[in-house]
Amino acid sequence: VSGALEIQSLAGMPEVGQGDDIASLIAAAAREPVREGDVVVVSQKIVSKAEGRIRDLASVRPGAEALETAARTGKDPRLVELVLGEAASVVRAEPGVIIVRTHSGLVCANAGIDTSNVPGAESVTLLPEDPDASARRIRAGLRTASGQAPAVVVADSFGRPWRLGQTDVAIGCAGLVSLDDWRGRADRGGRELAATAIAIADEAAAAADLARDKTSGLPVVVISGLERFVTRGDGPGAAVLRRPESEDLFG
Amino acid sequence: VSGALEIQSLAGMPEVGQGDDIASLIAAAAREPVREGDVVVVSQKIVSKAEGRIRDLASVRPGAEALETAARTGKDPRLVELVLGEAASVVRAEPGVIIVRTHSGLVCANAGIDTSNVPGAESVTLLPEDPDASARRIRAGLRTASGQAPAVVVADSFGRPWRLGQTDVAIGCAGLVSLDDWRGRADRGGRELAATAIAIADEAAAAADLARDKTSGLPVVVISGLERFVTRGDGPGAAVLRRPESEDLFG
């Protein structure tokens, strides 16, 4: 059932700018074509850049709500204005912390807006508007470029309640069984595996993060050995990993 | 800085029972000795079994608090009795859900008590009492058995607020930089990487989980390629990944 996994970052990716075709850049950088059963994990940062999801804080004018929330949290009112623009609802706003649920359903600090590794003194990246669609586009592009359609994951680093440190999670994916649902299946002793559904896409994002570091500029990582989770169709993406607000007993 | 990772489950581990020496079993099962810079990820289940952390629900008599909480949550009062015994505090108790902070500081559903893959119709496993100590013991045993001291992670599957599905996290570790703290360091453009600390041990646990499946009985996984995070000393373990209750702004 399970064999070895190999995880390798892709050297030679250039800086990505607005309008760049990430699939073509990956195909050009890969020494050998990425294979059908591979999982290509792409960092959110370059997807956002390619999609033009960059803002310059210098050109943002905070409104009344942003000014109020900025005062309460101690954050830059211009950043808060952008965060609120991305937010369907504010989960938490306290000194030093703003956690929101984004329009695409992700719960994360600062709406996932990031200031590091963006050119320009006050430039920031927003998350892709629809990260599952981003993953599907990259997958389609890889299919066009190479004839192969590996699974694609768009990954970003999220903090977690109760645990320190961030881990990479899948904010988007295509062609991957993102949630491997064992509920109803039996364990080796025949007892039901009561509540086990494994977030494969999140584990793949986390695994890929181990093959780069935060300053290395290695935004693309290829995982081999997960063929059993790679699907012909794009599937429902990482959307299935977002716990519906109504069910959020765990939070 | 970063190269390829290889992740391989260890075939040939026998069933583990109380009193078994996990390090010796790993050393015997490994076709070639586990190396100094490797990370050996061991599932909580076999650690708990070896440490005798097994209980038979048939012999548990629920007290008044357990009966009350069981009525409120719809859970087996005997299981709830065990959960409360493991709990320093109850974070949440609602229909279908009990989340506690354990005596060792882990926040998880049902205090991490698990009913699957345990011999005996009503047997369950509790988490190891001190999972970092468990990891240190296994590491010391591997050093004795093979002369090599890889890092050791004890992993368990946890649910997450806001996201569906479980991922494996490190409940214990030894000899690994469990939290890689980039705060204060600069990005490639010279801007500070404001809030980035990466939970390496959790990402390693998640990566290892991809190399097994829940019924395969592959409780040990070896990761090569993380030498840069493996330390001579055992270090502070996974304890540093537990967010102090007072700081839990994210929850």
Q: B93 touching A, CB under 8 A?
A: no
CB-CB neighbors (< 8 A) of B198 in chain A: 157, 165-167, 209, 214
Tell me whether residues A214 and B202 touch, CB distance under 8 A.
Answer: no
CB-CB neighbors (< 8 A) of B206 in chain A: 167, 202-203, 206-207
Q: What confidence tens digit (pLDDT) does each residue in A9-28 have?
A: 998 899 999 999 999 999 99
CB-CB neighbors (< 8 A) of A217 in chain B: 188
State the pLDDT at residue A181.
86
CB-CB neighbors (< 8 A) of B162 in chain A: 107, 242-243, 248, 250-251
State the pLDDT at residue B251.
41
Minimal Cα distance from A106: which residue of B? Answer: B162
Q: What confidence tens digit (pLDDT) does each residue in A128-140 have?
A: 999 999 999 999 9
Selecting from B7, B96, B187 the residue whose C-beta is nearest the C-beta of A249 gives B96
Task: Tell me: pLDDT of B9 over 90.
Answer: yes
Q: What confidence tens digit (pLDDT) does each residue in B13-48 have?
A: 999 999 999 999 999 999 888 999 999 999 999 999
Residue to mutate among B79, B91, B118, B163, with most A CBs inside 10 A, is B163
Task: State how far the Cα of B198 lies from the Cα of B177, in Å rounded to an integer.
Answer: 10
Tell me whether residues B166 and A2 touch, CB distance under 8 A.
Answer: no
For chain B, positions 66-85, list CB contacts with chain A under 8 A. Answer: none
Average pLDDT, chain A: 91
Q: Residue B135: pLDDT band by 50, 70, 90 thresholds?
A: very high
Task: State how far the Cα of B116 lies from the Cα of B126, in Å rounded to an integer.
Answer: 12
Percent of chain B clearing pLDDT 90 (strictly above)? 76
Q: B196 touching A, CB under 8 A?
A: yes
Task: State how far the Cα of B81 lies from the Cα of B83, in Å rounded to an integer.
Answer: 5
Q: What confidence tens digit (pLDDT) does each residue in A28-58 have?
A: 999 888 999 999 999 999 999 999 999 999 9
Which ranges in chain B belong to alpha helices (H)? 22-29, 44-50, 64-73, 77-86, 131-146, 200-209
User: What pTM was estimated for this model as a whole?
Assistant: 0.94
Q: Residue B118: pLDDT band by 50, 70, 90 thresholds?
A: confident
Q: A5 touching B, CB under 8 A?
A: yes
Selecting from B164, B178, B243 the residue whose C-beta is nearest the C-beta of A240 gives B164
CA distance readout (Å), B130 to A131, B82, B205, B206? 40, 17, 17, 20
Selecting from B187, B242, B243 the residue whose C-beta is nearest the C-beta of A117 gives B187
Sheet holding A107-109, edge to edge: A87-94, A97-102, A107-109
- The ipTM is 0.93
Minimal Cα distance from A228: which residue of B? Answer: B210
State the pLDDT at residue A212.
85
The pLDDT averaged over each successive group of 10 residues in chain A (251 residues) is 81 93 95 91 97 96 97 96 97 92 94 83 94 98 93 96 94 97 69 74 97 79 96 96 73 41
Minimal Cα distance from A105: which residue of B? Answer: B162
Containing A71, the helix (H) or strand (E) segment is: helix A64-73
Minimal Cα distance from A124: which residue of B? Answer: B191
Contacts of A85 (CB under 8 A, 6+ apart): none
Task: Tell me: pLDDT of B249 over 70.
Answer: no
State the pLDDT at residue B250.
54
Q: Considering only residues B214 and A19, tell me which one the structure prediction assigns the higher pLDDT.
A: A19
Task: State how far the Cα of A75 lies from the Cα of A66, in Å rounded to an integer.
Answer: 10
CB-CB neighbors (< 8 A) of A187 in chain B: 116-117, 214-215
Nearest to B198 by CA among B189, B190, B207: B207
Contacts of B31 (CB under 8 A, 6+ apart): none
Torsion sign, CA atoms B51, B55, B61, B67? positive
Task: Tell me: pLDDT of B185 over 80.
Answer: no
Q: B192 touching A, CB under 8 A?
A: yes
Q: Considering only residues B146 and B232, tell me which one the structure prediction assigns the higher pLDDT.
A: B232
Torsion sign, CA atoms B86, B90, B91, B96? positive
Tell me whether residues A166 and B215 touch, CB distance under 8 A.
Answer: no
The number of C-alpha atoms within 13 Å of A227 and in the hemisphere containing its C-beta is: 9
For chain B, positions 126-185, list CB contacts with chain A under 8 A. Answer: 157, 159-169, 178-180, 182, 185
For chain B, positions 220-249, list CB contacts with chain A under 8 A. Answer: 223, 225-226, 240-243, 248-249
Q: B123 touching A, CB under 8 A?
A: no
